Amino acid sequence: MTDLNWVEISREALKSNISEFRRIIGPDKILCPCVKANAYGHGLVESSRVYLDAGADWLGVNALYEARTLREAGIDAPIYILGYVGLEELREAVELDCRMVVYNRATIAKLAECDGKPRVHIKIETGNNRQGVLKGELVDFAKYILSFGNIELEGLNTHFANIEDTTDHSYAELQLKRFLEADQILKDEGIEVPIKHCANSAATILFPKTHFDMVRVGIAAYGMWPSSETYVSSLEEGTKGFKLTPAFTWKSKIAQIRTIPAGEYIGYGCTYKTSHETKMAIIPVGYYDGYDRGVSGSGAYVLIRGERAPLRGRVCMNIIMVEVTDIPEASLEDEVVLMGGSGDEVISAELFADWAGTINYEVTTRVNERIPRIVN
């Protein structure tokens, strides 16, 4: 490994998570892992290949450029674009044979001009209030789509606003009720949409009744729980015994070792002062790489030879400093685990997120795309 900073992705872990989802949704539903945000930091093309190999059916991306990258890599599985596709991008999206979420008439009018058969999924507004068609506008919108013979109304979907942040699922129930109402409104007009979907990871794990025809699983496909609330809820209801295996290990190497006398300051802002003679290791990773500056002073550590080496001073742009006084064998170019396991120790994405004051979703997605992802 020539890079000083790389991410190892466990193929077995990704496959095991897909198998777990397949087990709970059954063989006939469409399993659509979300690979947006560079596959939550796990490598877009790399993770997509593993997922398809493991039996995933579709891939969910946020934007056209991700779909293009997958097609250029020779991946011909169905791709569903979850995010907004610009009016000028629609032609290419259809050429790349992507399905997409729709909620604007302007999008439909443009799709009507495209060659081929655009396939669209109407987003129903049920309470997230980001995107989505309101109940009162639904029938007209669906009829507008169907008025163009070339567009296929393939899907009906919505997205939960408050399912992983709580163990009280009444808001999710309300959204589900509104989703079912929307479906009924269309049925009453004689419009039957074949693929209905609303479940993200938390919904898929907790509520089998949200599975419908397809599940869009993100975070949990990478082996991370959507939240501790989801984990707790899963022990009480839903799909008990559901097992997730994290796949992400971020590594670097020691770039220098120095001994610093007692009473010296470490790094920018002089936020840390040595209280004793200190053996310090310099690691070539920083906030540019996605090692969150917010972990400075939080008690954060890295793992060297399976031992904790505490972060000292602030995270710099390209460097962090860690204390290895208690790891006397630590030496130049030793492997360093920034996130993931080493020996008996694990720095989970959740622990790192606690240090940084954010969520697991953010810490893996923020690891710079330039850093190689190695599937092993």
Ligand X SMILES: *Cc1c(COP(=O)(O)O)cnc(C)c1O
Residue type, 152: E
Q: Any catalytic annotation for residue 291?
A: no
Question: How many residues in the shown chain lie near ligand X by CB under 6 A?
Answer: 12
Q: Any catalytic annotation for residue 84?
A: no
Binder to ligand X among 110, 159, 196, 253 (CB under 6 A)?
159
Rounded to a whole number of angstroms, the minimum distance from the CB of residue 366 to ligand X is 15
Rounded to a whole number of angstroms, the minimum distance from the CB of residue 66 to ligand X is 12
Chain residue whose CB lies nearest ligand X: 218
From CA 364, how far away is CA 154, in angstroms rounded? Answer: 32
**Nearest one of 71, 72, 114, 60 to 89, comparing CA atoms:** 114
Residue 365 binds to ligand X (criterion: CB under 6 A) = no
**∠ at Cα 63 (60, 66), nearest 5°?**
75
Q: Which two tokens stand for residue 41?
A: 């930091």
Residues 57-86 interacting with ligand X (rule: CB under 6 A):
82
Q: Which two tokens stand for residue 22?
A: 């397949």
Angle between helices 44-53 and 11-25 (to 10 degrees): 50
Q: Of the two residues 220 and 300, which places its CB atom closer to ligand X in the complex? A: 220
Give the 3-state secondary structure of residue 127: coil
- Cα-to-chain-centroid distance, residue 202: 13
Residues 225-244 interacting with ligand X (rule: CB under 6 A):
226
Out of 36, 123, 196, 251, the active site residue is 36
H or E element, residue 71: helix 64-72
Rounded to a whole number of angstroms, the minimum distance from the CB of residue 103 to ligand X is 12
What are the residues facing 267 on neighbouring strands?
none
Out of 177, 187, 268, 273, the active site residue is 268
Binding mask 196-225 for ligand X (x = CB under 6 A): ----xx--------------xxxxx-----
Residues 315-344 interacting with ligand X (rule: CB under 6 A):
none
Q: Which two tokens stand for residue 75?
A: 């991946």
Q: Of the two residues 10 and 365, which places its CB atom closer to ligand X in the complex? A: 365
Residues 32-61 interacting with ligand X (rule: CB under 6 A):
34, 36
Residue type, 48: S
Rounded to a whole number of angstroms, the minimum distance from the CB of residue 275 to ligand X is 43
Instruction: Work out whether strand 119-123 and strand 98-102 pair parallel, antiparallel, or are unpaired.
Output: parallel
Positions in the binding site for ligand X (CB under 6 A): 34, 36, 82, 159, 200-201, 216-220, 226
Q: Could you give the residue numbers annotated as active site?
A: 36, 268
